[in-house]
Homo-oligomer: A and B are copies of this chain.
Amino acid sequence: MGEFELIRNFFAAAPCAQGGEGVALGIGDDCALLAVAPGEQLAISTDTLVAGVHFADPCDPFLLGQRSLAVAVSDLAAMGATPLAFTLALTLPTVATDWLAAYARGLNAMAQDCAVRLIGGDTTRGPLTLTMTVFGRVPAGRALTRSGARPGDLLCVGGPLGDAAGALPLVLGQRQAAPAVAEPLLARYWSPQPQLALGQALRGKATAALDISDGLLADCGHIAAASSVGLQVVLDTLPLSRPLVDFLGLEGARAAALSGGDDYVLAFTLPPADLTPLQAAGWPVHVVGQVVAGQGVALLDAAGQDITPGIRGYQHFPETP
């Protein structure tokens, strides 16, 4: 048995690979088989992380296992889907048992958190690259998309922004910070929590949604384009965490929120009448602007003046780290 076959058996034995609802056939055949209940559709998303491009190499394999799955599952949250399963295509330069065991532990921890099952994949030799394809179920016709925002809707986000971008200098070892600041920021970078429950609660309410991976301004641009509307973001309404403001100052924290990547917080548009019931039910819904007729994304100050910067957020494929 070759070493890569051993790896497959290793993942097949992981707790997160032991079947589960909707999994008719898991790892070990030419295909996996998923059952989709009548009246439901399957939501599918693929994400690739390349060593040295999307994460520092070397890095902690346990944290990478958590993060690589969370990033992919976040797309299911953005559609209001319930996670079902995922495949992992893992390309490795060498077979290092300790690395793999730690990676699998991190993957498994996040899979348990998200109730998602490993059903297959591929293991190959080459430069370290991870491609996850995730599957969720959603009632037919009720998935959240990017295309339904209407003028008059509120623009909302599901929590503080910018923490993961703020953590980047810590991840790269370029800066240091006291544990009270560093730990919460690093946790947001390495262990993003896909807002699955919020996404499901927004079905039938939010008119458009996505998860913020490239910074609020850039991602709002996707909603504006898909919905053929304009979006206005009001600078001083941005929710910012205390550790981020302590670390970067208010201006730096706002820049991270607007243009930093890797938040994996939901951004969505909502008819005003739906705001209070959602907040009253305890959902984290922060109004950061509104939808208007027009196109593109504008940044406004508290007085309503347009202060849109030239930047449009991260390029989608930042070369850092």
Q: Once the chains bind, are B89 and A50 in contact (CB under 8 Å)?
A: no
Q: Once the chains bind, are A52 and B126 in contact (CB under 8 Å)?
A: yes
Q: Number of residues in A with C-beta < 8 Å to the partner?
A: 65
Q: Which of B2, B33, B42, B209 contacts A34 (CB 8 A)?
A: B42
Q: Say whether A4 faces chain B, with CB atoms less than 8 Å apart.
A: yes
Q: Say whether A237 faces chain B, with CB atoms less than 8 Å apart.
A: no
A28, A36, A51, A88, most chain B CB atoms within 10 A = A36
Q: Which of B46, B53, B76, B211 contacts A120 (CB 8 A)?
A: B46
Q: Once the chains bind, are B127 and A31 in contact (CB under 8 Å)?
A: no
Q: Which of B4, B88, B143 contacts A25 (CB 8 A)?
A: B143
Q: Say whether A35 faces chain B, with CB atoms less than 8 Å apart.
A: yes
Q: Say whether A45 faces chain B, with CB atoms less than 8 Å apart.
A: yes
Q: Once the chains bind, are A46 and B317 in contact (CB under 8 Å)?
A: no
Chain B, residue nearest A35 (CB): B41
Question: With the chains together, A316 CA to B95 CA distance in Å?
Answer: 14
Q: Once the chains bind, are A41 and B30 in contact (CB under 8 Å)?
A: no
Q: Say whether A100 faces chain B, with CB atoms less than 8 Å apart.
A: no
Q: Which of B31, B41, B79 contacts A29 (CB 8 A)?
A: B79
Question: With the chains together, A8 CA to B33 CA distance in Å?
Answer: 28
Q: Say whether A319 faces chain B, with CB atoms less than 8 Å apart.
A: yes
Q: Once the chains bind, are B30 and A78 in contact (CB under 8 Å)?
A: yes
Question: With the chains together, A147 CA to B30 CA distance in Å?
Answer: 11
* Across-interface contacts of A125 in B (CB, < 8 A): 50, 53, 317, 319
Q: Once the chains bind, are A127 and B124 in contact (CB under 8 Å)?
A: no
Expressed in whole angstroms, the minimum distance between the Cβ of A46 and any Cβ of chain B is 4
Q: Say whether A241 faces chain B, with CB atoms less than 8 Å apart.
A: no
Expressed in whole angstroms, the minimum distance between the Cβ of A20 and any Cβ of chain B is 15
Q: Once the chains bind, are B28 and A41 in contact (CB under 8 Å)?
A: no
A50, A126, A147, A210, most chain B CB atoms within 10 A = A126
Q: Say whether A32 faces chain B, with CB atoms less than 8 Å apart.
A: yes
Q: Once the chains bind, are A140 and B38 in contact (CB under 8 Å)?
A: no
Q: Once the chains bind, are A28 and B124 in contact (CB under 8 Å)?
A: no
Question: With the chains together, A41 CA to B51 CA distance in Å?
Answer: 35
Cβ proximity bits A197-211 to B, threshold 8 Å, 1 near / 0 not: 000000000000111
Q: Once the chains bind, are A43 and B33 in contact (CB under 8 Å)?
A: yes
17 further A-B pairs in the complex, CB-CB below 8 A; given A5-B316, A29-B147, A49-B124: A2-B317, A29-B145, A29-B210, A29-B226, A31-B76, A31-B78, A33-B43, A35-B42, A44-B87, A44-B120, A44-B133, A46-B88, A46-B133, A50-B126, A89-B89, A89-B131, A131-B131
Chain A residues with CB under 8 Å of chain B are 2, 4-5, 24-25, 28-36, 38, 41-54, 75-76, 78-79, 81, 87-89, 91, 119-122, 124-127, 129, 131, 133, 135-136, 138, 140, 143, 145-147, 209-211, 226, 315-317, 319
9 of the cross-chain contacts (CB-CB < 8 Å) are A25-B145, A29-B147, A30-B146, A31-B76, A32-B43, A36-B36, A46-B87, A48-B91, A51-B126
